[in-house]
Chains A and B, each alone.
Chain A
Amino acid sequence: MAGMTEMKITEEEAMPEARSADSAVEPARHRPMGATARKAVERVTELGEQTVGEVRCENPFIVTENVDVYYGDNHAIQNVTLEIGKSEVIALIGPSGCGKSTYLRCLNRMNDSIESARVTGKIALDGQDIYGSDLDPVALRARVGMVFQKPNPFPKSIYDNVAYGPRIHGLAADRAELDDIVHTSLDRAGLLKEVKDRMDEPGTGLSGGQQQRLCIARTIAVNPEVILMDEPCSALDPIATARIEDLIDELSQDYAIVIVTHSMQQAARVSKRVAYFHLGRLVEVDETDKIFTNPRHKLTEDYITGRIG
């Protein structure tokens, strides 16, 4: 079964792969300095235990130390250490099956629902161990929201979609407050203008891009501190993608955002830092500029220049 899912992903990625070829050129063109700098540094070539670059950051909010994830006998993530700062956007990139989505799903314990999954190591959110026995994943997920690859609005009205989170958590004391939360969230997601006259219509009736923004509104209605995004634009057209990217930019003022993406332009456009995963290992982490202009690991370079995809 694992083999089949992998196959499928590869097919879907045929496109981003093609795009990634020129994405490697693009940052280089914009920053001509990179080409010269690239030659100066000696490259790491093996896929070793050690992550290249700077895994630490100042003012860390999420700290993951030596995280391993197993699906049954499959060692999906190996010894990943990474810090994510408050109000920074970090992009996770890498070829399919490299473990970037798995890593993302560790951060709000969405892997819990997979029976065979096992996580070891330490993941702390704001100093609190999220795999600690005293922590309820429900409370964790209220703090760490998630946006999925395919827009997944509930088969309910637009209003109820956004109101869902506040309702289950009891965030609104009365209807007026709930209305307020719904409106604010839709507004922040840039969707309010388009839907304010049809709040009672089903959320599934919106266009793909609108649906994804609805899902973002739904997520921020719970008032999280971190938003995880698992390839949020992979099912959208370029215009809708651009709107979401703008939105991510705005949201990054208030939230730590971890985004998994296949598109290197997207990573370059929205993120402050980039983490490159390969075969379950975190190969390289650094400032976005540095990664795209001057990758220090051979594998990173191969990936961003389109040699592996």
Chain B
Amino acid sequence: MQNLTLILLLAAMAGGAFYAGRRRSFAVVGGPAHGAQLHSLPGYYGYFTLIWCLLPALGLFFVWVLLEPKVIVALIVQSLPDPQRMVSEGELNLLVNNIRNLAAGDAISGDADAVMRDAAERYNEYLAASRRVLATLTLGIAGLGGAIALRRIRPEFRARNRVEQVVLYLLIAASSIAILTTIGIVLSVLFEAIRFFREVSLTEFLFGLTWSPQTAIRADQVGSSGSFGAVPLFTGTLLITTIAMVVAVPVGLMTAIYLAEYSSSRVRAVAKPLLEILAGIPTVVYGFFAALTVAPWVRTAGEAIGLEVASESALAAGLVMGIMIIPLVSSLSDDAIHAVPTAMRDGALGLGSTRSETMIKVILPAALPGIVGGILLAVSRAIGETMIVVMAAGLAANLTANPFEAVTTVTVQIVTLLVGDQEFDSAKTLAAFALGLVLFVVTLCLNVIGLMFVRKYREQYE
């Protein structure tokens, strides 16, 4: 919370800087009565001072806070006696963690020895020192920045242009965050995946038929190497996605057609918001419904007709996922259908087509690119969907196309591998990132192609 105090102090200084800047601008022209002599409105001189006071100090603050833990840990590790330092990376991490917990006064795993207590004490010392230096530096820079800005205020000084320039840079920075996010995703997933592929070959991962990532904790244990053939995950994902699309595409498309062509405006006014509600239900809720309600139904229904159905069948997860995707398909199809000019519809009706003939032979073919684009986006959504499959599909990596059996998916495995205690460097953990890379690349391709279709199509009729 000490950092919060510092931020509040900074904010107070910034407020002060604003008023100081404003007053100074009046002072240089000899009072508010002569304000017209200033190049910019007095407020801009205030903002100018505020920016000089705040921005450099804030920049320093964030860099410091970000680097602080790393530097301190490095110092602590450096100061440890040799026997403790010469251990594996994993054990060192554990040790550092324990030291940190000890310093914070929390419970630690194992007993604390003298070395550790020493280290913890040093940790706290470094932390306190760091905070002191940070506070002094930040406030000092803020004051200095403000003072420099104040000195630069002259009647002919173009404060507005300066302030606007800074604001423009801030806007650019904000818009580049979207790009940074993508880069961040690519880099974070890629680096860990590359580390994974150093241990497991790419061909084994992409074409191997067995998935059992349970690596042993100690190297000398039996069956220590897990196998990372991801084909069962891909087929499982494909199976559930297919079931979902078999539900969502016809139902979504027919819903869009019915609402666009047949329903009265009153039915439309009720049905559309209801579908939007369907789209707004969190996926975890669908997952709960799939696991606790639909899966037992599917099982009972299957058994009633003499089929053997796993309790976590692909069918249950796929059905519910399909329902979840109906609104997406229907709203994108609706857009596509409505983008077809009414003249086309009139032309067909004028020749004596029935409404269904108009729809099937004229409007749908014209709307096809838009609908295909929408379906691609829906497939991407189904592949990336996590909670429904985590809750309703199994963990067993079966290589099967039987919808009544349990299968697992890429997203389920990512969650399973990363939830709970984990060593960050084991192949098991890294495998999740490799799967994440596959997921990202596949959905990215689908999205790019799908969006391209939708956009091209929209332009065609504009």
A residues neighboring B (CB under 8 Å): 108, 110, 113, 115, 138-142, 145-146, 148, 150, 152-156, 164-165, 168-169, 215, 218-219, 222
- Sorted from nearest, which 4 A-B pairs have the closest CB atoms? A146-B350, A141-B352, A152-B343, A142-B352
- Interface flags, B151-164, vs A, CB<8A=1, else 0: 00000000000000
Minimal Cβ-Cβ distance residue in A for B347: A152
- Interface flags, B99-117, vs A, CB<8A=1, else 0: 0000000000000000000
Minimal Cβ-Cβ distance residue in B for A219: B351
Cross-chain contact A138 with B366 (CB below 8 angstroms)? no
Cross-chain contact A113 with B349 (CB below 8 angstroms)? yes
Interface centre among A164, A218, A222 (most CB of B within 10 A): A164
* A and B contact pairs by CB, cutoff 8 A, 16 listed: A140-B352, A141-B350, A142-B351, A142-B352, A146-B346, A148-B347, A152-B341, A152-B343, A153-B347, A164-B351, A165-B352, A168-B352, A168-B353, A168-B354, A215-B347, A218-B351
User: A138-B354, A168-B354 are known contacts; what are 18 more A-B pairs with Cβ within 8 Å?
Assistant: A113-B349, A115-B265, A141-B352, A142-B352, A145-B350, A145-B351, A148-B346, A150-B343, A152-B344, A152-B347, A154-B347, A154-B362, A155-B344, A155-B365, A164-B348, A168-B352, A218-B351, A219-B351
Given A154-B344, A168-B357, CB of A148 within 8 Å of CB of B365: no
* A218–B347 CA distance with the chains assembled, in angstroms: 10
- By a CB distance below 8 angstroms, the chain A residues around B357 are 168
Tell me, rounded to whole Å, the shortest Cβ–Cβ distance linking A151 to chain B: 8
Is B361 in contact with chain A by the CB < 8 A criterion? yes
* A155–B350 CA distance with the chains assembled, in angstroms: 16
Instruction: State the interface size on chain B (CB cutoff 8 A).
Output: 20
Tell me, rounded to whole Å, the shortest Cβ–Cβ distance linking B271 to chain A: 15
Tell me, rounded to whole Å, the shortest Cβ–Cβ distance linking B259 to chain A: 13
- By a CB distance below 8 angstroms, the chain A residues around B175 are none
- Counting residue pairs across A and B whose Cβ atoms lie within 8 Å, the total is 65
Minimal Cβ-Cβ distance residue in B for A113: B349
Cross-chain contact A138 with B353 (CB below 8 angstroms)? yes
* A69–B357 CA distance with the chains assembled, in angstroms: 27
- By a CB distance below 8 angstroms, the chain A residues around B347 are 148, 152-154, 215, 218
- By a CB distance below 8 angstroms, the chain A residues around B5 are none
- By a CB distance below 8 angstroms, the chain A residues around B346 are 110, 146, 148, 152
| Chain B stretch 324-356: residues in CB contact (< 8 A) with chain A | 341, 343-354
- By a CB distance below 8 angstroms, the chain B residues around A155 are 344, 365-366
- By a CB distance below 8 angstroms, the chain A residues around B341 are 152
- By a CB distance below 8 angstroms, the chain A residues around B78 are none
B contact patch SS: helix
Minimal Cβ-Cβ distance residue in B for A150: B343
B residues neighboring A (CB under 8 Å): 264-265, 341, 343-354, 357, 361-362, 365-366
Pick the residue among A115, A141, A150, A156 that contacts B351 (CB under 8 A): A141
* A169–B357 CA distance with the chains assembled, in angstroms: 10
- By a CB distance below 8 angstroms, the chain B residues around A146 are 346, 350-351
- By a CB distance below 8 angstroms, the chain A residues around B264 are 115
* A117–B141 CA distance with the chains assembled, in angstroms: 74
Pick the residue among A108, A139, A154 that contacts B348 (CB under 8 A): A154
Tell me, rounded to whole Å, the shortest Cβ–Cβ distance linking A33 to chain B: 41
Minimal Cβ-Cβ distance residue in A for B461: A155
* A170–B164 CA distance with the chains assembled, in angstroms: 70
- By a CB distance below 8 angstroms, the chain B residues around A142 are 351-352
Interface centre among B343, B348, B350 (most CB of A within 10 A): B350
Interface centre among A139, A140, A148, A222 (most CB of B within 10 A): A148
Minimal Cβ-Cβ distance residue in B for A228: B350
Cross-chain contact B344 with A139 (CB below 8 angstroms)? no
Pick the residue among B351, B352, B366 that contacts A139 (CB under 8 A): B352
Cross-chain contact A110 with B349 (CB below 8 angstroms)? yes
- By a CB distance below 8 angstroms, the chain B residues around A168 are 351-354, 357, 361
* A146–B361 CA distance with the chains assembled, in angstroms: 19
Interface centre among B264, B341, B348 (most CB of A within 10 A): B348
Interface centre among B352, B354, B361, B365 (most CB of A within 10 A): B352
- By a CB distance below 8 angstroms, the chain A residues around B351 are 141-142, 145-146, 164-165, 168, 218-219, 222
